[in-house]
Structure 1
Amino acid sequence: MSSSLSHQGRVAVVTGSGRGIGAAIALALAYHGAKVVAVDLQSPNAIVAAIGRNAVGVAADVSDPDGWAAIARVAEETFGQVDIVINNAAYYPNHPIEELDLDTWKRTMSVNLDAQFLSAKQFLPGMRRNKWGRFVGISSNSVGLTVKGMSHYIASKMGIIGFMRGLANDVASDGITCNAVLPGLTNTVATQAQGEEQRKATWQGQAIQRFAEPEDIVGPILFLTSDDAAFMTGQALVVDGGQYRVG
């Protein structure tokens, strides 16, 4: 397999890149020529080592403006201007509404949704100067499903779709696109605790009857962050094997 180097010369920030979907995105972007700023609560050293000299790791809390300032500082010192931001980091405790407390609600919103806003405030000025930029917020197909105990999570993930749509309107004239990707339940460390019956229940609701792998989510993100997607913005792209129901 040969690389098309479709992202050659681009610098991409990928949050939550220590494992799972984020790690797969970081590796794929690097394979296609991008320089990657890999971000997690602890520096994702294994992913940086796998990519090599075209990656740098940053330990940062994406719900904190200081975290984004640190990401920008490392990116600029190592690679220069950031062109692509993939907000993949997420917080997703399961709590029925009777047990959901305000602190959990606020933490869910700050990690999943505030990070989208903070990254835009941090990197939009440079993207506007360069007349090119890509924001992709990782939402979830759970916004269209019946999932119990996740009202806070679903609210935050719906918010990502709305923010990307609204941001797209503000920045389109500067060559910047903003889109959301909605993965289905994916085979990562976070979902490995599920029993076989739970997995089958997921597959039976899909057209493609298997668990998504992190690599299944990568292709649409590579497209959205390329020049090929210059006329696609403000969209919510579902990548879940045909489980999502329009309604």
Structure 2
Amino acid sequence: MAKHNSEGKVAVVTGAAQGIGRAYALRLAEEGFAIALADIAESSETARQISAAGGAAESFRVDVSDESSVSQLRGDVLATLGRCDVLVNNAGVYPFQLWDEIEYADWRQLISVNLDSMFLMAKAFTPGMRERRWGRVINQASDVFGIVIKGVAHYTASKGGVIGFTRALATELGDQGVTVNAIAPGLTRTPGTMSRQPDPHSVEDPEEMVAFAQGQAIPRVEQPEDLAGVLAFLASEDASFVTGQTIWVDGGLVRV
């Protein structure tokens, strides 16, 4: 696979310990980026897989919703890897709560992790991109913003905010060599989504995921690797004229 002029460049991936974040980190390492693995959990397994494939990665513990923790991450990444060229804002939470069950504390916690974190991370790492006049910010949205289901009012609101923030930040940074885009996955089989199933270790696709898949143009359950190619494109030189966009990667459940 040809690398997209990524030698010497660094990508920071949040939520990199497992699931979609791990798939993103592995793919960007394959493309030649050194990877800063940022997660509130331990990312050693992701780092091990990258190292085994011949890539370079460093692990950092961070609470992306906390300003001081993000500031510490910025200092650690710059001290260790020297720069950030690609920022992947993937970390997020996705609880299922009916409207009557959501308390204000639940709302604030979810918004802080899913949306406030993107503001903090962009504030931390885009200044260097602007100085070098090259950078990529890639935010994780969700196709839930394009469908109607109960039990995710706070989550849907946060992902609508991500799409709005992506468009606005693209406008702010477009004349400085920095693109900003979002990826909107569908319901994806990850350790996080499987943890909500009766048998989280099952090798069979859960009924909930199969039901969602039946509404897709491509009727199979989404896997983290289904998203990695779009991420690699958005991080590459080939996407230098693509900004402010939300790309729906959900097998055609949302068709816009």
CA contact (8 A) 2:187 2:209 kept: no
Structure 2 residue identity aligned to 1:93: P
CA RMSD of aligned residues (A): 1.3
2:240 to 201, 226, 230: 230
Alignment of 1:29-108 (within 5 A): 29-52=28-51, 54-108=56-110
**2:9 corresponds to:** 10
Q: Which moved more, 1:71-80 or 1:8-17?
A: 71-80
**1:215 corresponds to:** 225
Alignment of 1:189-200 (within 5 A): 189-192=191-194, 193=197, 196-200=206-210
Alpha-carbon distance in structure 1 between the residues aligned to 2:233 and 2:166: 16
Alpha-carbon distance in structure 1 between the residues aligned to 2:223 and 2:62: 26
Runs of 4+ in 1 over 2 A off after TM superposition: 194-197
Unaligned 5+ segments in structure 1 are: none
2:134 to 125, 132, 135: 132
Q: Deviations over 1:115-174 (max 9, x none)?
A: 111111111211111000100110100111122110000000010000010011111111
Alpha-carbon distance in structure 2 between the residues aligned to 1:200 and 1:32: 32
Change (3 A) 1:202 1:9: same
The number of equivalent residue pairs is 244
Alpha-carbon distance in structure 2 between the residues aligned to 1:147 and 1:189: 22
**2:201 corresponds to:** none
Unaligned 5+ segments in structure 2 are: 199-204
CA deviation after TM superposition for structure 1 residue 198, in Å: 1.8
TM-score (norm 1): 0.95
Structure 2 residue identity aligned to 1:243: L
Alignment of 1:14-25 (within 5 A): 14-25=13-24
CA deviation after TM superposition for structure 1 residue 107, in Å: 0.7
Change (3 A) 1:127 1:196: closer
1:205 to 186, 209, 215: 215
CA contact (8 A) 2:12 2:36 kept: yes
TM-score (norm 2): 0.92
Q: Which moved more, 1:67-76 or 1:134-143?
A: 67-76
CA contact (8 A) 2:170 2:243 kept: yes
CA contact (8 A) 1:14 1:22 kept: yes
Structure 1 residue identity aligned to 2:227: I
CA contact (8 A) 1:187 1:211 kept: yes
Alpha-carbon distance in structure 2 between the residues aligned to 1:196 and 1:181: 24
CA contact (8 A) 2:37 2:60 kept: yes
CA deviation after TM superposition for structure 1 residue 5, in Å: 2.1
Alpha-carbon distance in structure 1 between the residues aligned to 2:121 and 2:139: 10
Q: How many percent identity over aligned positions?
A: 42
CA deviation after TM superposition for structure 1 residue 245, in Å: 4.1
CA deviation after TM superposition for structure 1 residue 190, in Å: 2.1
